[in-house]
Amino acid sequence: MPAPSRELPWFPGAILAALVLTAVFAPYLAPQSPTEGDITQKLIPPVWMERGEGRHPLGTDRFGRDVLSRVIYGSRISLVVSLLAIGLSGTFGTALGLISGYRGGFTDSLLMRFTDIGLSLPTILIAVVLVAVSEPSFRNVVLVISLLLWPRFARQIRGETLGIKEQDFVALAVVAGRSSTWIISRHIFPNVVPTLLVISTLQVGYVILLEGTLSFLGVGVPPPNPAWGLMIADGRGFLATAWWITLFPGVAMLLTVLAVNLMGDWLRDHLDPKLRQLGSRAETEPAAIEPVPEARPRGAAAGADGG
């Protein structure tokens, strides 16, 4: 494998930059309201087709809402849900992983059993049950995704901590009279930051897909919010006649997840080559030894297309 480039990869970088800018400036970019449509303008195809109208470049849905505007506003939901869910679960999982790894012994066993339970939950099922029980709302989506995500952080960070705490500088900090809290936060935490960054980035794609799936199943962000998953679900009934309702949010989701995963891979290669097994490229890694003719598509990306 050639040495990975040190420069920021332009393709995922550009997509992510565009995504963030779109989300921030959504009100200025969107030509129409994302939630209010004119029922008389329903199911208008994209502008380049027959019957297409310049007012609705990507057409309208069955309530006459502008698809382009909805896709633009949808980026906000995906981004905010990812940031909140990853912030929340990352903080909790990292704290738990650090404590578990540093303390060891009984504390470690107990916390890791919780983590194992967390990891063995059937994701979608639990998400559906939880959100169904507790009213679909933006807040609940974030909480549910966080609940499913924190064990990934906890386990990886614990593993890192186990290695770091055996290093001499930790022993010397103890000899210097430092408390455990101080050692964990000042000496161990800075050393897991690269790992944390890599896991967080690689989880963004997963969170966006999960949010999309939940919204698609009707247990995510409640309508009429312009969540991409919700739009895909809305358009499902019109696939044969009004495919644009489904296609454009699907493409947006696909590009976002692809860009985030590429970025995560790149970050991982640069920050910590030890973490190769963590990311989306892991599945193709053995090919370096034993070339396999057809490359296996990523399970997650395939899921996006299916939605």
- Amino acid type, 137: S
Interaction with another protein in 185-214: which residues (CB under 8 A)? 186-187, 190-191, 193
Q: Do residues 93 and 153 make contact, with C-beta atoms less than 8 angstroms apart?
A: yes
Single out the segment in contact with another protein by CB under 8 A; choices: 7-15, 40-48, 111-119, 166-174: 166-174
DSSP calls for 220-266: SSPTTS--HHHHHHHHGGGTTT-THHHHHHHHHHHHHHHHHHHHHHH
Site mask for another protein (CB under 8 A), range 124-163, x = bound: ----------------------------------------
**Comparison of 177 and 293: residue with beta carbon closer to another protein:** 177
Is residue 51 exposed (0-12), middle (13-18) or buried (19+ Cβ within 10 Å)? exposed
Query: Using the rule CB under 8 A, which residue among 168, 289, 292, 299 binds another protein?
Result: 168
Task: Give the position of tokens 């296609």.
Answer: 247
Q: Which stretch binds another protein (CB under 8 A): 25-33, 135-143, 171-179, 258-266?
A: 171-179
Question: How many other C-beta atoms are found inside a 10 Å radius of the C-beta of residue 274?
Answer: 12
Q: What Rg value do the Cα atoms of the chain yield, rounded?
A: 22
| 291 burial via Cβ count (<10 Å: 0-12, 13-18, 19+) | exposed
Helix (H, G, I), strand (E, B) or coil at 63: coil
How many residues belong to the site for another protein (CB under 8 A)?
Answer: 17
CB of 157 to another protein, least distance (A): 14
Residues 103-122 that bind another protein (CB under 8 A): 105
Measured between alpha carbons, how far is 152 from 98 in angstroms, rounded to an integer?
13
CA atoms within 13 A on the CB side of 304: 23
Nearer to another protein, 133 or 175 (CB): 175
Q: Please, which residue, 163 or 297, has the CB nearer to another protein?
A: 163
Backbone angles phi, psi at 153, to 5 degrees: -65, -50
69 or 156, CB closer to another protein? 156
Q: What are 119's two structure tokens?
A: 């990891």
Q: Does 273 bind another protein (CB under 8 A)?
A: no
Q: Single out the residue of 174, 251, 254, 301 in contact with another protein (rule: CB under 8 A).
A: 174
Task: List the interface residues with another protein, window 40-99 (CB under 8 A).
Answer: none
The nearer residue to another protein, 155 or 165, going by C-beta atoms, is 165
Query: Residue 232: which of 218, 217, 219, 245 has the closest Cα?
Result: 245
Instruction: Write down the least CB distance from residue 197 to another protein, Å.
Output: 13
CB closer to another protein, 109 vs 284: 109
Binding to another protein by residue 169, rule CB under 8 A?
Answer: yes
Closest CA to 138 of 30, 61, 65, 214: 214
**If binding is defined by CB under 8 A, does position 177 make contact with another protein?**
yes
Q: CB 177 → another protein: shortest distance, Å?
A: 4
Nearer to another protein, 194 or 224 (CB): 194
Q: Tell me which residues touch another protein (CB under 8 A).
A: 105, 167-169, 171-172, 174-179, 186-187, 190-191, 193
